[in-house]
Amino acid sequence: MEEMLTVKEVSQLLKVATITVNRLVKQGMPSYKFGRSRRFKATEIDEWLKNSDQPKQQPEPRPTKEAGIHKDLLTAIEHWNNQPRMIKCKEPTAKLNTVFSRIYKIYGLEEMLATITRYAVVVDDEQYFFNTRWNMETFLRQGNAFPDFTCDGQKWINYTEKTAKQDESHEKVDIWM
């Protein structure tokens, strides 16, 4: 019987994080589940890697102090600071750089700038009840901030629906005057 490997052993063998091994299992990497434990056969992993459509590329390096800040972070900071009623971002920090890089990989610069603009529109609208003001890092990091102001985010949808209703009521008043 072939020796079975644990998730941790496979992660060490492949030189990836254990969470990556779990993601690869979801993508079809052969494994065996025993209760709450998962085991792997080295020969099956080797064969799967040879035959899989996994990209043969090095992972993108994480930003470090030596690597500097993300190339588009300064553009995003400038855009953020140009919006009305925003808590100004004085300089890029390592934490902001990390959060920005994570969101950037998902949405890209254009969608990030548009989302910042949408958030600024809502915060600046004195007729609307939303008045939570985050700094840039918190806005990008929190699960109820940036994602909710994307074009299909719930806070943005609520705002556009509410303002559309207000516009309709103003039009009705204008008609009757």
Higher pLDDT, 57 or 166: 166
Q: Beta 4-5 vs 37-41: how paired, if at all? A: antiparallel
pLDDT at 175 over 60: no
User: Mean per-residue pLDDT for 48-75?
Assistant: 68
Task: Give the pLDDT confidence of 136-174 residue by residue, as tens digits.
Answer: 999 999 988 999 999 999 999 999 998 887 766 655 444
User: Mean per-residue pLDDT for 77-93?
Assistant: 92
Name the burial class of residue 34, with classes exposed (0-12), middle (13-18) and buried (19+) by CB atoms within 10 angstroms of its CB: exposed
pLDDT at 55 over 50: yes
The number of beta carbons lying within 10 Å of the beta carbon of residue 82 is 12
The number of beta carbons lying within 10 Å of the beta carbon of residue 142 is 14
pLDDT at 100 over 90: yes
Terminal C-alpha separation, the chain: 88
pLDDT at 59 over 90: no
CA dist list (Å): 7 to 24, 25, 55, 122: 11, 10, 21, 46
The number of beta carbons lying within 10 Å of the beta carbon of residue 102 is 13
pLDDT at 65: 46
User: Mean per-residue pLDDT for 114-127?
Assistant: 92
Helices and strands counted in the chain (H then E):
7, 3
